[in-house]
Amino acid sequence: MKPIVKNNILAVDRGTKYIWLAYRNERSWMTMPIGTLMNDESLFYNMWSVLGRYFIWTVVIWFPKQHKKHQTAIDSFIEQLLFVEKKLKIVKTDEEYSSVQAAQKLWTIKKVPWEDSIAAMIILDNALKIMNTKNT
């Protein structure tokens, strides 16, 4: 039996109350929403569970260029995530308008609960385009 290799990619859209997740399966190359985790004391236990369940090796995380307060919080999040799984590759991406793009894709005027999961999918797809451009 072949050993399972962690090779899927997780996108994280970190908010103060919730963490929205999406992942890219390398076998099918489909980006799928995972859902939401509470940003509370159980977050890193739940993140560890997601990393294992979805065989995640790379994490793409929204990192705003303009907002120092958010940068500090996200850097702290990344540091704690690397404590949970030291071998993760972390990719920071500046995706300021992913929520706006998600609302446009959903044709919504008012914010809907799954909009941020769609935003996480957009973050991942856009980051992969950038990563693939750099590799060619």
> For residue 81, what are its two tokens?
């995530």
The beta strand positions in the chain, using DSSP E, are 8-14, 18-25, 30-38, 56-62, 89-93
pLDDT tens across 58-91, in order?
Answer: 998 888 777 788 889 999 999 999 998 888 999 8
pLDDT, residue 120, reads: 75
Q: pLDDT tens digits for 37-49?
A: 999 999 999 999 9
Which string of DSSP letters, residue by residue, matches 121-135? HHHHHHHHHHHHHHH
**Looking at residues 12-31, what average pLDDT do you find?**
84
CATH superfamily of 8-135: YqgF/RNase H-like domain (3.30.420.140)
* Higher-pLDDT residue of 93, 135: 93
What contacts 113, CB < 8 A, 6 or more positions away? Answer: none
pLDDT at position 105 is 56
pTM: 0.73
Q: What is residue 104's predicted lDDT score, i.e. its pLDDT?
A: 52
- Label residue 7 by pLDDT band (50, 70, 90): confident
Instruction: State pLDDT tens for residues 87-123.
Output: 899 988 876 555 555 555 555 555 555 556 677 777 7
Quote the CA–CA distance of 17 and 28 in Å, as a whole number.
Answer: 31
